[in-house]
Every structure is written in C-alpha cells, then in structure tokens.
Amino acid sequence: NQAISHIVTLQHKMKKVLNNVQIQNIAYQKTVTLFYSSSSDVWNIDGNSVTAAYQGAISGTNYEFWNFNSTISSSGIEHFYLKYDVSGTSYYDNNGSQNYLVTTTSTSSTTTTKASSTTTTATTSKSTSATTTTSTTTTKTATVATTTPTTTTTIATVATTTTTTTTTTATVATTTPTTTTSSKTTSTKTSASTGTGSCSVPAPAATTELTSCSIWNLDSCNGSQTSYNSTGYDDRKWQTPGKGSSDYVSSFQDYRELTGYADVTYNSARTSATVTVNAFARTCNPILYSFGGATATSSNTYSVPAGFTGTLSVVATIPSLNATLTLDPLYFIWDKQSVNVAATNNGQKVAIVELFGWPYNDVAKECVFLGKAGWSGVRIWPAMDAVINHMTGGGNDVQLHRNPSGSSCNYWSGHNTTAGSPAYTHDFAYTPNKQTGARPALEFPAVPYGPTDFHCERSLSSWSDPFDLNYGWLVGLTDLNTESEYVRNRIATHLVDLLSIGFSGFRVDSAKHISPDNLAAIFSKVRQRLGGSFPDEFITWLEVLMGGEKDLLACQSSTYNYYTYLNQVLASNGISDTDIQKIKIWSSDYPKEFPICGSWILPPTRFVIQNDDHDQQTSGSSSRDMGSEGSVLIVAKDVAAHRAFEVKLFTRTDGNWTVKNVLSSYSFMNNGASGFPDGLSDCSSYVGTAAKSGCLSMAYAPAYVANSCGYSVVVNGTWQQGAYTRVHRDMSIINAMRGWMGYATTTATALGLPSSCT
C-alpha cells in the first residue's frame, strides 16, 4: 500500500507508449500492467493492455524507473488504469473508479526528466514535477496524478516548453482539495472571551455519496505543503449530530453547536490558579460560563483562590440554542500528595512499575503492595502515555468506511471513542457527513481539533529525513500540526491537567515525530502554566527510538538532534537547567548498544532504562534490538533469563541512571489475541452481525490478586495464556531494586505474600 506516482506520455499518432514511471520499491518482485479503453471508450478489447518493465533504481530514493514500450492497438486509447501484482495480491490504481483520461496536446517527441519528488506511503501523496520538451505534432498526452493501491491521490505538475521557446505551464490537479471545497470564510479558532462565538457560519461545498467502491482522496499534501491552511478546510467541521438526530447519543453533548476546553494557569507557588475557558460556537449566539455551579455569566475566566480543595465544575452554554458543554471536572495540583521519601531525591530517583493492561481499580488496589515493596512509582495506561504527536488513524472513527481491494470492496462501520465522544477522519470515506453535506474532514470535537490543526496527509517513508519525521503520518495516524500555536497550547493544557490530577510525569510517545523546536515550545508552555517552573518531582521521558538514524537524532549536530540541540532550544524557551534535567530520553539503545554514540553525549542521568518494553511484545512493532543482553518475557517465555536481566537492571554500576522501569504485563493467546484481559476483549460478549468465528477472544482475568507471587504467568512449570505476569512481585527483583534505592532487603512474608514466593 505505498503511493505510486507516474508521469505517462501516450503517443496516439505513432501508436506507441513511451513512459517514465516512478514506482516505490514496495516489493522485490512485482508486475505492473496498464489496461486501456479504445478511442471510443470501449473496454475489454483483447490485447488492450501493456506490461511495464523494470528499468533501474533511482539513486538516493526508494523509487525505481519502470518503462512501457509497446504498440497501442488500432482501436486507439481514451482511458486507462494500472494494476500491480505483488505476491499473488493485485492492487488497482483507477483514479477512484473514474480511470485516467488521455487528453490531446501538441507534441511529437517527448523527453521527460524528474525534477523533484517527495517520498510517500499508503496514506499520502508523492508529488512529482517534470519538464517536457516538445515539438509540434498532435498526440495524446496523459499527465496523471495517480493513486495508491488504496486510491490515495497524488498531483503531478508538468511544465511544457515548445521549440519556439514559448513556455506554458499546466498544473494537472484534478483531485486537489481546493476543487471540492468552499471558498467562503471559515470559522476561526479564537476563544469566545467576550461571550460570543465565532460569527462565520461554515458553508462547505455539498457533495453526494460516491458510487461503486470509490472513496475520496482529496486531502493529501500537494508537494511541500505541510498543513490544511487553505480556505474551506475548516468549513467542513461541525460534523457531530445534534439532538434529535437519529445518530445522536448523549455523550456527544452539543458538539454540533459548541466545543471548548479549560486552560489552567498557576501562580509561581502553585497555590492558586486562573481558569480560562476557550469555547467555540458554530453560530453567532452568545456563550455563558458557569464555574463551580454558580450562575452563568459572560466571563470565561475564574480565579481559583488559595485554600480551594476538591474539583471545580465548568459548564458553557448557549441559552438561545439550549446548547450545553460540560467539561471534565478540574483538579488542582496543590491537592496531590507530595513525594517526600528521601531516597527518591524529591522524585528524581525512582524505580517505576509499568502496569500494562491493568484496569484502574486493580491498579489502585495494587498500590498498597507497591508501596510496601519499595517501588517509587507506577505507570498506568493510557493516561501516562502522552500521545501528543497524533490522534487516531485515518478511517478509525465514527463514520462508515470502505476500501477497494482488487475486485472486492471491504466495508467497516464506525465507532465512538472509549469516552463516547465522536471522532472524524477523511480516509476511506464515501458518504457525505449528514450535518454538513460535505465530504468528511478531520475533527475531534471533544478536544477540540479541526482540519487545520493537523499536518496534511503525507507518508512517512524516510526515517532519516527530518521533514518526513516531523510532517509525515506515522502508519496512517493523523499527525498534529505542532507548529500551530493553538495545537501547542492545547497539548500543554492536557499535560498540565495530568499533573493537576496527581501524576508526577508522563512518557511522550513517538517523540521523534515532533521536532525538537516544537517539543521545546510545548514544554515551555507547560512551564508557563505551572507558574514558571516544573514541580520538584516532575519527570518525563521522550520515546526517541533510534538505530541507523542515530547521527541525525543524537550523535551529530543538527536541528533534529534530541540530545544537545534539544537542550539548547529548551534553554532558549526559558526552561532552567534544573528543569531540563527532568526531561529524560528513553534509552532505546539499552542494554545492547549504549551509549549509542560511542560516548556519553548526555550523562546517564538524562536517560530512562528498562529491559523489555510494551512495544516489543507485538511482532514487528519495534526495531529495538537487545540481542543477547535482554529478554522479552512473553516472547521468549524464559522466566529465569528475564529475571536475571531485571535484576541486572538494578545491580549494574556502569551508568548512574536515576529512572528505571520494569514492565509488568500479560501474556497473549496462542491464536494471536492480544487484547487486555479486562473482559472487554472477550468474544463471548460479542453482539455484532459478522461471524463470531473471526473474533479473537481474550477472556477476563483479574489483574489484582492479593497473594500472587511474581511471574504468575507460569503455573506448575506451564506457560499460561491470557495471564498477568506480575514481574514486579518477584522477590529477587524487589530486593535488587531496594538495594539500588538504598533500602534494606525484605521478605515475602513482610510484604504480605506467601513464604513460597521467591
């Protein structure tokens, strides 16, 4: 499913096909075939197909040249499509079931040269510019902006120069986003501080449901475009059903008319705070605000006095529409329990247990044991996994979707988020939104994010290109526009909310897909909202997975360096040296390749280390290589080896790391089922219409068991499927951790465990 871009010249008069086809190297062996209709647009004529031949690789890229050189039949040519056969699977590129039209221009001979290109994946475009020098004979020339095998469109720009030196430029962009969007004024994202909403009512261009198995592919990047900043994109938001609609559910609130969020800013001592509600209305009706249940007024700010305890309710309303937005209750940082154990150095030296797949109620029960054992912290999912570079994947939302695949058409229905709020993406969509009448757009109204808060859809096909890393959509995940001040502020308010609830820190997922400059700007906004500094016990670690791209990301000087350059821009954004030390890097080079640059560019105290991590549990999901220096428990199923590596994590003395993680997870099923064993992935509760035989079930298993020993995934020497591992309860690991923290050794009995636990 890699995007394929072509520049094809079809010479009708000479009955020849001469092309220069650029194809991403998606497979070592593949067959490319062009099928065409006659000049009277009749299909299925015997012999109306041409097979391409491999010509050679394009140096420095992941692309190859493929050439056609064959005779067009006497019936001529009008339309064509392309077929790709890879390992028994066929992919069709037919311009969204419309096929490609061969248009008439003046030319007799053609030389095509590649001027520039950008790389692609299945969810983005590859834009190619070519210069064509021609003379003056009538031919049929098709300059095509083709699609991925899943029909994602691309755009080709061709400059044609005649022999008389008259130059004309033709931009072939039959599928550009601007051809189907409205040019009317969009709703701007400004807070309604005066009590009125945005007064530009969106009016997107209406459309109709696509036929056959077509899908819209109009939102990919055009060349070096990075964001949806053109007029018309934001017109397509406000897609949530309103009350009274057949699609409405109560968890949608009144997102059709009103969205917003609360922004908390603390004083320097973090003993009082100001709450500002940034609300957005679809129409020009006034917005009123209520804090703590008080009478609503037009003021969107509230001063939280020193001494306030508990939570603060926040409600925004549009009385004229009977529309209400109830925000999550606000917690405040002064209510959280302080970290005052001397051995933790104010929370800066910690042994953390990652309870992967544990329900929150079970985590709460387990905290008693964690404290007794001496663990300094617990990482819970998903709250502490700060996914701030992207939202959900394209096509994973509330709408109906389909995907053409060869001669078949795969359909799937939509779903809400876990919290019951809707989400919208433009991928794999074929029906207009019922509220706007337009094709769907990126929108997450509970945040709220709209189309212009995202980078335009672009593949991420190079792990050593800073542009791709920052702007590309990682495996189709909708990539946030972290250059945007609105997006930076919204991310910062979310992180401050986590700290206000009571968390001491968080992990930043896929951090290398947010440039160092953008990360520094976000952390600066967090600092500002926290009164100018981070709390004493604050820590965060950035997931910067690296291997062959280590020089770019760490070892050599660049503006995409997460070691020295990130330090520089953090400092230039007003973050003190003390607070910079609290921003750690996850050590993906541990335990086999550290320090990855051959020497310590940053001291070990700036890194977080662990043996196995949650990503390594799923085959193909992580390129982290531990070799013989580490063990992934649920993959190797070798308890003795895994225990030894966890003990070594705490007893080794070749680096003064101050944050160490231990993964306590669960085993997968032999049939591939890997959902949490919390009962929500148990197929016995399935009520859908598709065959239950396709459901991979994970039965319920309790995470918290008061008297369980460590490595409970093995019973009487037999590995258990769908069982929690409880690695953190192993006494050998506990005492190794306690020695590192400076605590005395303990026993199973002292921790309330059976004496048989070792």
Reported confidence tier of residue 14, pLDDT bands at 50, 70, 90:
very low
CA proximity to 53, closest of 73, 27, 39, 33: 33
For 5-175, CATH number out of 2.60.40.2440, 1.10.10.10, 3.40.50.9100, 3.40.50.970 equals 2.60.40.2440
User: In the prediction, which pLDDT does 82 show?
Assistant: 76
Reported confidence tier of residue 558, pLDDT bands at 50, 70, 90:
very high
Q: What is the mean pLDDT of residues 363-368?
A: 97
Q: Which two tokens stand for residue 581?
A: 């030390």
Q: Which two tokens stand for residue 10?
A: 């079809």
Q: What is the mean pLDDT of residues 643-661?
A: 98
User: In the prediction, which pLDDT does 182 show?
Assistant: 31
**Res. 550: pLDDT tops 60:** yes
User: In the prediction, which pLDDT does 156 show?
Assistant: 27
User: In the prediction, which pLDDT does 350 show?
Assistant: 98
Reported confidence tier of residue 33, pLDDT bands at 50, 70, 90:
confident
Least confident of 258-262, 382-386, 494-498, 601-605: 382-386
**Res. 520: pLDDT tops 70:** yes
Label residue 272 left, alpha or beta by phi (over 0 means left) and psi (-120 to 50 means alpha).
beta
Q: What is the mean pLDDT of residues 170-182?
A: 30
User: In the prediction, which pLDDT does 467 show?
Assistant: 97
pLDDT, tens digit, for every residue of 300-347? Answer: 999 999 899 999 999 999 999 999 999 999 999 999 988 889 999 999
Q: Which residues contact 244 (CB under 8 A, 6 or more apart)?
A: none
**Res. 188: pLDDT tops 80:** no
User: In the prediction, which pLDDT does 22 show?
Assistant: 58
DSSP 591: T
Beta strand 31-36 pairing with 79-86? antiparallel
Please answer whether residues 407 and 205 qualify as being in contact, where contact means their C-beta atoms are separated by less than 8 angstroms. no
Residue intervals in the chain for CATH 2.60.40.2440: 5-175
The rounded Cα 744 to chain-centroid distance in angstroms is 44
Distance CA 152, CA 319 (A): 43
Query: 3-state DSSP call for residue 573?
Result: coil
pLDDT, tens digit, for every residue of 387-406? Answer: 999 999 999 999 999 999 88
As beta bridge partners, residue 69 has 18
Least confident of 138-147, 364-373, 484-493, 723-732: 138-147
User: In the prediction, which pLDDT does 256 show?
Assistant: 97
Least confident of 82-86, 495-499, 527-531: 82-86
User: In the prediction, which pLDDT does 167 show?
Assistant: 31
List of E strands, 204-257: none
What integer best gives the mean pLDDT of the chain? 83
User: In the prediction, which pLDDT does 145 show?
Assistant: 34
**Res. 709: pLDDT tops 70:** yes
Q: Which two tokens stand for residue 756?
A: 């048989």
Distance CA 644, CA 630 (A): 9
CA geometry: angle at 557 spanning 553 and 558, to 5°?
65
Q: What is the mean pLDDT of residues 702-713?
A: 98
pLDDT > 70 fraction of the chain, expressed in percent and rounded: 77
**Res. 629: pLDDT tops 50:** yes
Least confident of 74-88, 140-154, 229-243, 399-413: 140-154
pLDDT, tens digit, for every residue of 411-433? Answer: 998 888 878 899 999 999 999 99
User: In the prediction, which pLDDT does 668 show?
Assistant: 97
User: In the prediction, which pLDDT does 52 show?
Assistant: 76
User: In the prediction, which pLDDT does 747 show?
Assistant: 98
Q: Which residue has the higher pLDDT, 74 or 542?
A: 542
Reported confidence tier of residue 13, pLDDT bands at 50, 70, 90:
very low
User: In the prediction, which pLDDT does 229 show?
Assistant: 77
Angstrom CA distances, 173 to 155, 176, 180, 575, 747, stand at: 6, 5, 12, 46, 71
Helices (H), 588-730: 633-636, 639-651
DSSP 751: G
User: In the prediction, which pLDDT does 199 show?
Assistant: 56
Distance CA 196, CA 283 (A): 9
Reported confidence tier of residue 89, pLDDT bands at 50, 70, 90:
low
User: In the prediction, which pLDDT does 49 show?
Assistant: 80
Least confident of 16-20, 224-228, 233-237, 628-632: 16-20
Helices (H), 325-478: 360-373, 466-471
Burial profile 668-707: b = 16 or more Cβ within 10 angstroms, e = fewer: bbeeebbbbbbeebbeeeeeeeeeeeeeebbeebebbeee
User: In the prediction, which pLDDT does 185 show?
Assistant: 28
**Res. 179: pLDDT tops 90:** no
